Every structure is written in structure tokens, then in C-alpha cells.
């Protein structure tokens, strides 16, 4: 792909609220009507197959709150809370592991947060021991961890490598000191560079940096400087998110309303800058949505080979694995059900203490949902649909089933975002920026009026 030129008129036209499709239906559809007994029956049914496993651990603690944060966190300076939390994780894993088919191999592992490196190195090692005691890792496991350079020692990374982690992701957001001050996250460039140097020395295979645009005091000029700095660091992947302002879910974000937030126009200029600068000279491939990867990175290769997947951790290269997630608020997923653990620490702890699965909400996926999910995921990951292939895969006549939706794609085709081919359609390079909008065509859970629950697609 050559440098991608961004047409701001198209961005304005398609900038509506929509889900991010890390699940389908979106998590806003989960309800508390599914009982623990129903969940146990679903888990038993799922374990009649030897499908691979993807394990997720939510480690929610952070020392301070970044004002923009949309994650489920527990803010504390008391590091003993991390140690106590591991006692609950240990019990939760011990409760779940006997329900799982022992032939199932772990092909993917993810520590997310919060800040996983809030745990002390010896606590990370303990968590690794808990996991390995109950599960078998595949030799080619994809194991990724979210790292906060502000709460990191080299020994944290040594411990993570011992467990088997080979990928790391770090939040940067912006290198500009004024922006960092405004978002309550001071992280000098040297700190990020030191973390990357340690990771490379210790053999982390792929390093991702997260940036956010739409934060206070950002301008296209300041963000250009941040991008220049990032490009000197050469991460393997970059995620550049649009700041999601959802104060009705995250009240702390209201603090940012008192600061100088960029105008929508300035935000669009930054988006244009990001895509054009990162894709210039094929430095990075625009995977879609907010993600960029080096041309040789596993993510790019998986997309080229149509093996990319999308789940709660974003894009992934491991297909056909079911996610079993541990810790407060963590979301598990099999083909037939999504379920989320209790979102508040005391409730999560009480459920684990009582010996229960800490179920908060769930969603049983209908046959029609499965058809729509697979279609949306193929659009998001492959950037194309082959109707005959989809018919075989889904056991339907794809073109008949989605006649209305395929007709509704006409405006996208007229705007050059999709191209109809013999027997299918392809998302164009320009269309990559709008894949959320294109995917929304196949979503039958959206209300006609649009829902306030979602952030804007751009
Ligand atoms: S460190 Fe990450 S999870 Fe914690 S408050 Fe900041 S952005 Fe949120």
C-alpha cells in the first residue's frame, strides 16, 4: 500500500457512533438473565471439544488514574492489594480448570488491566506458576502483556519472559509534556525508550505502542512531533485510538471538559496526519480501525493470509480459540456464549469466596448472531467477503440471507470504500478507515436512532 490519502469530507460523513466489534453482539447487549447453572452447562458443552484456549487475566490495579482512562481499574498505592487479589485469582482458576478439557492447549495468553506490572515481579512469577499448574502452553503461544513504563523494572520483564510472554504493549498516548500533564500521566520519552530497550534485550518479539488523539492541548503540530519521536523508536505495531469521551460511563473524564480539548476539525486533521505519516513509504501497514503494523509483523502477515481474528483484546493471529478470562470484569467467550465476571472487586471476591463462578452478565449467542458475527469479523479482519465461501462456511445462501444488507452497501461503493467483485466485495484502502461503518451494515442489534452507549467511529 502506498501512502494512504485521507479524504476529510468522507470522514465527516461517516463519523457516527458505533461499536468496536471486539464482540458481536456488543457487550452492551449482555444481560443478567443467564444463570450460573446455564453457564456451567455451556462450559460443559464447550469442553466436549479439544479447541485451543486463549486465557485472559484482568489485573486492575493502578497507582494513579489517567483522566482519559476507559478501563476497569482499582486505583491504590497499596501494593499488598495485588498480592491479595492473586489469592482470589488462584481460587478462581482452581474452580474453573477442572471444568476444562485437559487436552486443550493454551495458544494465547494475555495480561491486561489496569496495570499488570503493578504486581511485584515475584507476584507475576506466582501468577505464572498458578497458570502453568493448571494449563498446558502450546510451544508457539502468543503471550502478550500490557506494560506501564512508569511502573516497571527490568525484573518485571524478566519475570514475564520466564512465564512465556513474547509480546508487550505500552501506553504512551502522547509525548508532549503539556498534554501529559493535562491527562495526569507523566511519562518522559526516556522512560518509554528504556522499557523498549529492556524488552528488546530480553527477546520480546513484538512491541506495540498505544497513542491517543483527541486529548487536551493536542494540535496537528504537537502530534506530528509525537509521531516523529515514535517513528525513531520503531515499534512493531502501533495502535492510535481516537479518545473516547464517555463521561456517562467514566465520570473522571469530566475533568478533561475543563481543559482545552481539540475541535472536531483539529482532531480530523490529526487523524489524517497519523494515517498518511505512518503509511508513508510503506513504513507501516494500516490493518484497519486504529491498528498499524510493520509489513513483516505477524499481524500483517495474518491479515494477508486471511487468518486474522478479532476479540476482546483487539486483533489476534490465533484462530479458533475460546477465551477463558479470569479476574474482576474479565470477559470469556466460546462460540455460543459470552460472559463477564463481576465488575466490582468486592462482588468478585464474594463470589469467588463462596466457591461460585463470579458471573455478572452474559449473552447466549443465537444461530443468527453467529452468522452475523462471522460476517462482521471477516469484514473487520479480511477486509473482503467471498459470498460462495461465506455460504459454505455458514451453511446459508449468503447473498439471499444478506440481500438487504448487501444492497445497503451501495453508498459505500459509490464513495469508493468498497468494491464489488465477481462473487464478493472488497474493502478498498480508503475504506479501511471506515470498516466499523461497513461492518455496522450487518449488525441487527443497533437501534434506528443510534445509541449513546458507543463512541464515534472515528
Ligand atoms: S495506567 Fe492504564 S489502566 Fe491505569 S488509569 Fe492509566 S490508562 Fe487507565
| Ordered mean pLDDT values, 10 residues apiece, the chain (458 residues) | 77 84 90 95 94 97 94 95 97 96 95 96 98 96 96 97 97 96 95 98 97 94 97 97 87 85 86 92 90 94 90 83 97 96 97 96 96 95 95 97 96 95 93 90 78 57
Ligand 1, atom 7: closest residue by C-alpha: 69
Maximum C-alpha span of the chain: 61
- Which of 112, 115, 192, 256 most suits a substitution to test ligand 1, by most atoms within 8 Å of the C-beta? 115
Ligand 1 geometric centre to CA of 298 (Å): 27
Pocket test residue of 58, 61, 113 for ligand 1, highest count of atoms within 8 A of CB: 113
Ligand 1 pocket member 171 (CB < 6 A): yes
pLDDT at 171: 96
Q: What's the 19 CA to ligand 1 centre distance in angstroms? A: 21
For residue 178, give the nearest of 115, 223, 116, 128 by alpha carbon.
Answer: 223
User: What is the DSSP code (8-state) at residue 262?
Assistant: P
Whose CA is closest to atom 5 on ligand 1? 65
Contacts made by residues 193-196, CB under 8 angstroms, sequence distance 24+: 193/233, 194/149, 195/147, 195/149, 195/152, 195/157, 195/170, 196/170, 196/233, 196/235
Ligand 1 mean position, distance from CA 114 (Å): 5
User: Three-state DSSP class for 326?
Assistant: strand
Residue in the block written with cell 479480511: 382
- The pLDDT score that the predictor gives to residue 258 is 79
Which residue has a Cα nearest atom 3 of ligand 1? 114
374 exposure class (CB count in 10 Å sphere: 0-12, 13-18, 19+): middle
Q: By the 8 A CB rule, do 198 and 159 touch? A: no
Please name the residues in contact with 422: beta carbons below 8 A apart, sequence gap of 6 or more.
Answer: none
**What number of other Cβ atoms are within 10 A of residue 237's Cβ?**
24
Beta strands in 218-348 (DSSP E): 237-242, 285-288, 291-293, 309-311, 314-316, 321-326, 331-333, 337-341
DSSP H helical segments within 79-238, as ranges?
80-96, 121-134, 154-163, 177-182, 189-202, 220-233
pLDDT of residue 429: 86
Q: Using the mean position of ligand 1's atoms as its centre, give its distance from the Cα of residue 347 in Å.
A: 22
pLDDT of residue 452: 47
DSSP category for residue 98: G
Helix (H) or strand (E) holding 13: helix 8-13
3-state DSSP assignment of residue 200: helix
Kindly give, in sequence order, each residue whose CB lies less than 8 Å from that of residue 118, ignoring residues fewer than 6 positions away. 59, 61, 62, 63, 79, 82, 148, 151
Any ligand 1 atom below 6 A from CB of 66: yes
**Best substitution site from 75, 82, 117, 171 to test ligand 1's pocket, by max atoms within 8 Å of Cβ?**
171
Pocket test for ligand 1, best of 81, 118, 148 (most atoms within 8 A of CB): 148
CA 414 – ligand 1 centroid, Å: 41
Amino acid at each position: 500500500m502506498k501512502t494512504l490519502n485521507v479524504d476529510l469530507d468522507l470522514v465527516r460523513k461517516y463519523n457516527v457512533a458505533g461499536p468496536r466489534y471486539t464482540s458481536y453482539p456488543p457487550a452492551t447487549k449482555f444481560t443478567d438473565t443467564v444463570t450460573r447453572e446455564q453457564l456451567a452447562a455451556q462450559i460443559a458443552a464447550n469442553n466436549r471439544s479439544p479447541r485451543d484456549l486463549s486465557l485472559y487475566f484482568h489485573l486492575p490495579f493502578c497507582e494513579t488514574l489517567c483522566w482519559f482512562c476507559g478501563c476497569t481499574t482499582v486505583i491504590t498505592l497499596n501494593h499488598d492489594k495485588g498480592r491479595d487479589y492473586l489469592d482470589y485469582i488462584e481460587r478462581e482458576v482452581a474452580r474453573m480448570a477442572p471444568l476444562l478439557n485437559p487436552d486443550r492447549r493454551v495458544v494465547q495468553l494475555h495480561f491486561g488491566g489496569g496495570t499488570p506490572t503493578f504486581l511485584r515481579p515475584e507476584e507475576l512469577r506466582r501468577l505464572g506458576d498458578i497458570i502453568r499448574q493448571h494449563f498446558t502452553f502450546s510451544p508457539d503461544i502468543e503471550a502478550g502483556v500490557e506494560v506501564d513504563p512508569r511502573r516497571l523494572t527490568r525484573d518485571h520483564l524478566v519475570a514475564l519472559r520466564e512465564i512465556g510472554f513474547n509480546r508487550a504493549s505500552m501506553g504512551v498516548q502522547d509525548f508532549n509534556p503539556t498534554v501529559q500533564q493535562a491527562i495526569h500521566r507523566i511519562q518522559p520519552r526516556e522512560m518509554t525508550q528504556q522499557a523498549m530497550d529492556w524488552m528488546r534485550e530480553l527477546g520480546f518479539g513484538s512491541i506495540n505502542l498505544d497513542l491517543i488523539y483527541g486529548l487536551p492541548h493536542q494540535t496537528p503540530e504537537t502530534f506530528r512531533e509525537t509521531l516523529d519521536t515514535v517513528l525513531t523508536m520503531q515499534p512493531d505495531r502501533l495502535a492510535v485510538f481516537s479518545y473516547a469521551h464517555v463521561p456517562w460511563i467514566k465520570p473522571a473524564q469530566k475533568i478533561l471538559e475543563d481543559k482545552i480539548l481539540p475541535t472536531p476539525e483539529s482532531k480530523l486533521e490529526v487523524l489524517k496526519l497519523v494515517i498518511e505519516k505512518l503509511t508513508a513509504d510503506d513504513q507501516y501497514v494500516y490493518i484497519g480501525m486504529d491498528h498499524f503494523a510493520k509489513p513483516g509483523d505477524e499481524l500483517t502477515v495474518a491479515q494477508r493470509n486471511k487468518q486474522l481474528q478479532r476479540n476482546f483484546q483487539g486483533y489476534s493471529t490465533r484462530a479458533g480459540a475460546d477465551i477463558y478470562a479470569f479476574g474482576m470484569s474479565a470477559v470469556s467467550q466460546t462460540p455460543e456464549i459470552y460472559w463477564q465476571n463481576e465488575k466490582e472487586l468486592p462482588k468478585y471476591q464474594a463470589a469467588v469466596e463462596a466457591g461460585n463462578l463470579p458471573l455478572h452478565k452474559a449473552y447466549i449467542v443465537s444461530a443468527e448472531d453467529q452468522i452475523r458475527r462471522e460476517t462482521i469479523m471477516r469484514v473487520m479482519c479480511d477486509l473482503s467477503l467471498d459470498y460462495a465461501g461465506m455460504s459454505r462456511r455458514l451453511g446459508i445462501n449468503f447473498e439471499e440471507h444478506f440481500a438487504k444488507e448487501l444492497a445497503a452497501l451501495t453508498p459505500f461503493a459509490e464513495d469508493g470504500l468498497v468494491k464489488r467483485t465477481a462473487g464478493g466485495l472488497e474493502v478498498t484502502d480508503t475504506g479501511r478507515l471506515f470498516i466499523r461503518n461497513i461492518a455496522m451494515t450487518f449488525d441487527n442489534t443497533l437501534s434506528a436512532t443510534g445509541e449513546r452507549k458507543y463512541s464515534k467511529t472515528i
